[in-house]
Amino acid sequence: MEKRQLDMQKAFAQFRTQFSDFLQNLPLFNPNAPSLKTNLESKLNVGSSTQLGFRQAVSSGGGPLWARISQIEPGAARTGGMSTAAIEERLAGVSLYALTNEAEEFVLVSGVRTKKSIGLFCFREEDAEALLDQMKAMSPGMRSGSRVVPVALNQVFQLKLDGVAFRLIPESSQVMHALKEMQKAGVSSKNFNGVPVFQSRSLILKSEDKRYRPVFFRKEDLEKSLSKASQQQNRVNPTLRQGDIQVSVLEDIIKGMKENSSQWGDVVFVPPGFDVSSDPIQQ
């Protein structure tokens, strides 16, 4: 079992290295070591229907359900879209956290309306730990061998299980940032469907004759990248204009990459805790 856990951690580290190697070939890349900080006031906050289904699943006589990652061959690209392998390469290095049992199977919860099983993957390790504590309190059978493990985002999108959906749980602070940016753009909403990601028209990456759009999972990483890009060009740190930070939905971008490579083929996902910098575009 220890060997299996070490193999999983080794594989995850390789994904992070692949992303770092890719960005090292781009100008002015600067990795910023992630800092995880315990915050009891920002524990996992799932929707009421999901939480109710979670309680029903754990308290049922049969106990929680489990699922494994299926090893599948890279699929061919749809007409005009990126291949599965190309998309997974862009997602490699982004870490998620999930709950597993001794057999390294992921815990599943049941949706109230759909009755389908749902696997939860958290972007914050603390959120996954809070979820594990909650499950252990509800189901004594979870107390032995259950733990939080890291899993790469591209592996999650390899999951193909009949009747099983996998939901990504974003950082609550980033959801709040997204809602505030949407409000600045004139879009008022109390909810955000999906995982928020951030990008700026003022920041691009260049490699030889190619240009890439960095997409961030944390607004703070984007702001730090913009600040460093300005400083490295010997300019005064600019005041960001309204609309200079755009909010998108991760799931929508991935869908777009599958359907239209010409529109989304230049997207590079930047893992949480990393910053990049390049010459800001003059507009």
Q: Report pLDDT digits (tens) over 11-37.
A: 444 434 444 444 444 333 333 323 222
Residue 23 lies in a domain: yes
**How far apart are the C-alpha atoms of 22 and 205, rounded to whole Å?**
12
The CATH number covering residue 66 comes to 3.40.1350.100
48/166 same-domain check: yes
pLDDT in the model for residue 282:
45
Mean pLDDT computed over every residue of the chain: 71
Which residue among 121, 156, 171 closes a domain?
171
**How far apart are the C-alpha atoms of 155 and 92, rounded to whole Å?**
8
Compare 1 and 134 and report the one with higher pLDDT.
Answer: 134
94/229 same-domain check: no
Look-up of token digits 């609309």: 243
17/138 same-domain check: yes
164/179 same-domain check: no
pLDDT in the model for residue 167:
87
What b/e sequence results for 33-70 when a residue is b if at least 16 CB atoms lie within 10 Å of its CB, and e otherwise? eeeeeeeeebebebeeebeebbbebbeeeeebbbbebe
Range of the domain at 145: 2-171
**How far apart are the C-alpha atoms of 132 and 107, rounded to whole Å?**
10
Residue 115 lies in a domain: yes
**How far apart are the C-alpha atoms of 43 and 58, rounded to whole Å?**
19
149/235 same-domain check: no
122/228 same-domain check: no
Extract the tokens encoding 18. Answer: 């692949």
Q: Report pLDDT digits (tens) over 219-251.
A: 999 999 888 877 776 655 455 454 589 999 999
15/150 same-domain check: yes
pLDDT in the model for residue 34:
32
By C-alpha distance, which of 168, 148, 153, 58 is closest to 100? 148
pLDDT in the model for residue 6:
42
- Per-residue pLDDT at 256 exceeds 60: yes
Residue 220 lies in a domain: yes
pLDDT in the model for residue 116:
73
- Lowest-confidence range among 47-51, 157-161, 271-275? 47-51
Which three-class secondary structure state does DSSP give residue 239? coil
DSSP per-residue letters across 10-64: HHHHHHHHHHHHHHHTSTTEE---------GGG-----HHHHHHHHHHHHSTT--
38/157 same-domain check: yes
Q: Report pLDDT digits (tens) over 179-207.
A: 999 998 888 888 899 999 999 988 888 87
Residue 282 lies in a domain: no
By C-alpha distance, which of 167, 218, 220 is closest to 196? 218
In degrees, rounded to 5, the angle at the alpha carbon of residue 272 between the alpha carbons of residues 41 and 38 is 25
pTM, entire model: 0.70
Helix axes 250-259, 84-91, angle to 10 degrees: 150
Residue 20 lies in a domain: yes
